[in-house]
Structure 1
Amino acid sequence: MDKDNFLGRWLADDISEEEKKEFENSKDYLAYKDILKGVEKFERPIFDIDKGFENQKEYNKRYKATSESKVIKPRFWLYAAAAVIVILFGLRTVFFSTIEIRTEMAETKTWTLPENSVVTLNADSSIEYDKKSFTKNRIIQLDGEAFFDVEKGSSFTVKTKNGDITVLGTEFNVYSRDTHIEVHCFEGKVQVSNSKETIILTPGKAIKSNAEGSLDSKEVKDSKPSWMLGKSTFNQVTLQRLIQELERQYDINITTNNIDVNRLFSGFFVHNDLDKALKTCFEPMNISYIINNSKNISLRNK
Structure 2
Amino acid sequence: MKPTLSKDMLFSYFSGRATSLQKTLIEEWLGEAGSSELYYEWLEEWERSQPHFLPDTDRAWKKNKERINGSATEEIPAKIVKTPAGTFRAWLYHHAVWKTALCLIVTGIIFYGFRDFILYRQYSTAYGELRTVTLEDNSLVVLNANSELRVPRLGFGLRHREVFLKGEAEFVVSKTADSKKFTVHTPDRSRITVLGTEFVVYTRARGTRIVLNKGKVKLTSPDVSQSSVTLSPGDRASISAGKIKLEKLTAEQLDAQSTWKEHRFVFDRTPLPEVGIRLNEIFGVQITIADSLLSGKELTGSYKAQTLDEFLEVLSDMLDIRIARKNNEVLLFSK
**Aligned counterparts of 1:116 and 1:145: Cα–Cα separation in 2:** 19
Q: Which runs of 5 or more residues in structure 2 are unaligned?
A: 1-46, 54-79
Q: Does residue 207 of the first structure (1) align with residue 226 of the second (2)?
A: no
Q: 1:290 aligns with which of 314, 324, 327?
A: 324
Q: Does residue 178 of the first structure (1) align with residue 197 of the second (2)?
A: no
Change (3 A) 1:231 1:215: same
Q: How much does 1:66 deviate? A: 4.9
- In the TM superposition, 1:1-302 aligns within 5 A as 58=51, 62-66=81-85, 80-85=101-106, 96-135=118-157, 136-153=159-176, 154-160=180-186, 161=188, 163-193=190-220, 195=224, 198-202=229-233, 205-209=234-238, 213=243, 214-221=245-252, 222=255, 225-259=258-292, 261=295, 264-292=298-326, 295-302=328-335
Change (3 A) 1:165 1:261: farther
Instruction: Report the identity percentage.
Output: 24
What letter is aligned with 2:172? D
Q: Which structure has the greater CA radius of gyration?
A: 2
1:47-67 Cα deviation digits (max 9, x unpaired): xxxxxxx9x955598345458
What letter is aligned with 1:241? E
CA contact (8 A) 2:50 2:82 kept: no
Q: How much does 1:121 deviate? A: 1.0
Change (3 A) 1:190 1:62: same
What letter is aligned with 1:108? L
Q: How much does 1:299 deviate? A: 0.5
CA contact (8 A) 1:162 1:181 kept: no
Q: How much does 1:230 deviate? A: 1.9
Q: How much does 1:267 deviate? A: 2.6
1:81-126 Cα deviation digits (max 9, x unpaired): 2343567799999873234332222222222323222212111112
**Aligned counterparts of 1:163 and 1:177: Cα–Cα separation in 2:** 12
SS in structure 1 opposite 2:249?
Answer: strand
Q: How much does 1:150 deviate? A: 0.8
SS in structure 2 opposite 1:62?
Answer: strand
Change (3 A) 1:75 1:269: farther
**Aligned counterparts of 1:85 and 1:220: Cα–Cα separation in 2:** 56
**Aligned counterparts of 1:287 and 1:180: Cα–Cα separation in 2:** 30
1:197-228 Cα deviation digits (max 9, x unpaired): 524222xx141538765232212443982111
**Aligned counterparts of 1:235 and 1:58: Cα–Cα separation in 2:** 91
Q: How much does 1:283 deviate? A: 4.1
Q: How much does 1:178 deviate? A: 2.4
Q: How much does 1:179 deviate? A: 3.6
SS in structure 1 opposite 2:209?
Answer: strand
CA contact (8 A) 1:186 1:224 kept: no
Q: RMSD of the TM alignment (CA)?
A: 4.2
CA contact (8 A) 2:216 2:230 kept: no
SS in structure 2 opposite 1:245?
Answer: helix
Which segment is superposed worse, 240-249 or 148-157?
Answer: 240-249
Q: How much does 1:285 deviate? A: 3.8
What letter is aligned with 2:161? R
**Residue in 2 that maps onto 1:23:** none
SS in structure 2 opposite 1:152?
Answer: coil
**Aligned counterparts of 2:112 and 2:167: Cα–Cα separation in 1:** 31
**Aligned counterparts of 1:91 and 1:69: Cα–Cα separation in 2:** 36
CA contact (8 A) 1:180 1:208 kept: no
Q: How much does 1:146 deviate? A: 0.4
CA contact (8 A) 1:247 1:253 kept: yes
Q: How much does 1:147 deviate? A: 1.0
What letter is aligned with 1:243? G
**Aligned counterparts of 2:189 and 2:199: Cα–Cα separation in 1:** 16
SS in structure 1 opposite 2:145?
Answer: coil
